Amino acid sequence: MLRKPLHDIFPAPPADLDPQLLDPAAVPVHLGVIMDGNGRWARKRALNRLNGHRAGIEAVRELIRCANDVGVRYVTIYSFSSENWARPVDEVGGLMNLFATTMLAEVEGLHEEGVRVRTIGRLDALPARTREAFERAELRTRDNDGMTLVVAVNYGGRDELVHAASQLVDQALRAERAGREAPVVDAAALERCLHTAGIPDPDLILRTSGEMRLSNFLLWQAAYAEFSCTDVLWPDFTRYDLLRALLDYQGRERRYGAV
């Protein structure tokens, strides 16, 4: 459901884009975003990579506002993967500070918009200030019933699956020790052990900067997601790039393996 008229959400579209073609009933329930290109954006401007990450924050704001206004119910942003620890120490430290500062600065605005913040990934490995900022945002917004912003931080799809399998093994061992029948292991049981338990699978996964890979993002959940890739570097991504992706998505036929 639209929260604003389309001409207010997209007030100055390019000549080749007509916002009125967007069908509110065909907007994805869950949008996943792999935000790529911050480093290349910075390099093109002879800046360090952290400047690119800072520039990408405004694109995140734009994405959240626009997705919320057009009726997307869940947005998952891939902010820091479990493999990103291999980046230079100063970049990782700068990112952790940026996450904390941004989350603390944005949480009241998100709360006023009715957005609920949720994190997925292993927060226990984050610096205390960063972890506490995410925890505070979750606590502040937990009763909101608007769009859910899912921040994937220190997240990896393979790690998530290993963690879920480990939980299933633990459940079986506890049942055995208690003399009970082991629980059934099926897709539903595994999904209950994922970080995304209770969140619908993504309908559309968008990736910027011309890359065309999942990079360990929502591996289980993306089984039947549609994909949209753009050459736009993340800091340059605007609501009109999102509109292009949404219009393309609403023209897809999703068959889930059927004919």
Please report the beta strands in the chain, taking only residues with DSSP state E, as ranges in sequence order. 30-34, 74-81, 116-120, 148-155, 204-207, 226-229
End-to-end CA distance of the chain, in Å? 29
% of the chain exceeding 90 in pLDDT: 96
Q: What is the pLDDT of residue 214?
A: 97
Q: What is the pLDDT of residue 254?
A: 86
Question: For residue 76, which of 203, 168, 180, 161 has the smallest C-alpha distance?
Answer: 203
Q: Are strands 116-120 and 226-229 parallel, antiparallel or unpaired?
A: unpaired
% of the chain exceeding 70 in pLDDT: 100
Instruction: Establish whether 84 is a catalytic residue.
Output: yes
- Taking the C-alpha atoms of residue 183 and residue 227, their distance in angstroms, rounded to an integer, is 35
Q: What is the pLDDT of residue 69?
A: 97
Q: What is the pLDDT of residue 68?
A: 97
50 touches 88 (CB < 8 A): no
What number of other Cβ atoms are within 10 A of residue 109's Cβ?
Answer: 12
pLDDT digits (tens, 9 = 90+) for 43-62: 999 999 999 999 999 999 99
pLDDT digits (tens, 9 = 90+) for 188-227: 999 999 999 999 999 999 999 999 999 999 999 999 999 9
62 touches 17 (CB < 8 A): no
Catalytic residue among 48, 84, 97, 144: 84
pLDDT digits (tens, 9 = 90+) for 149-159: 999 999 999 99
- Taking the C-alpha atoms of residue 219 and residue 154, their distance in angstroms, rounded to an integer, is 15
pLDDT digits (tens, 9 = 90+) for 6-20: 999 999 999 999 999
Spell out the residues 6+ positions from residue 157 whose beta carbon is closer than 8 angstroms to its own: 214, 216, 217, 218, 219, 220
57 touches 103 (CB < 8 A): no
97 touches 170 (CB < 8 A): no
User: Concatenated DSSP letters for 113-126?
Assistant: TTPEEEEES-GGGS
13 touches 242 (CB < 8 A): no
Q: What is the pLDDT of residue 118?
A: 98
Catalytic residue among 36, 69, 203, 241: 36
Q: What is the pLDDT of residue 1?
A: 86
Q: Which amino acid is at 125?
A: A
Q: What is the pLDDT of residue 217?
A: 98
For residue 178, the 8-state DSSP code is T
Q: What is the pLDDT of residue 242?
A: 98
- Taking the C-alpha atoms of residue 132 and residue 259, their distance in angstroms, rounded to an integer, is 48
Q: What is the pLDDT of residue 249?
A: 98
Question: Is the pLDDT assigned to residue 258 strictly greater than 90?
Answer: no
pLDDT digits (tens, 9 = 90+) for 80-93: 999 999 999 999 99
Instruction: Establish whether 36 is a catalytic residue.
Output: yes
- Taking the C-alpha atoms of residue 191 and residue 212, their distance in angstroms, rounded to an integer, is 26
118 touches 107 (CB < 8 A): no
For residue 234, the 8-state DSSP code is G
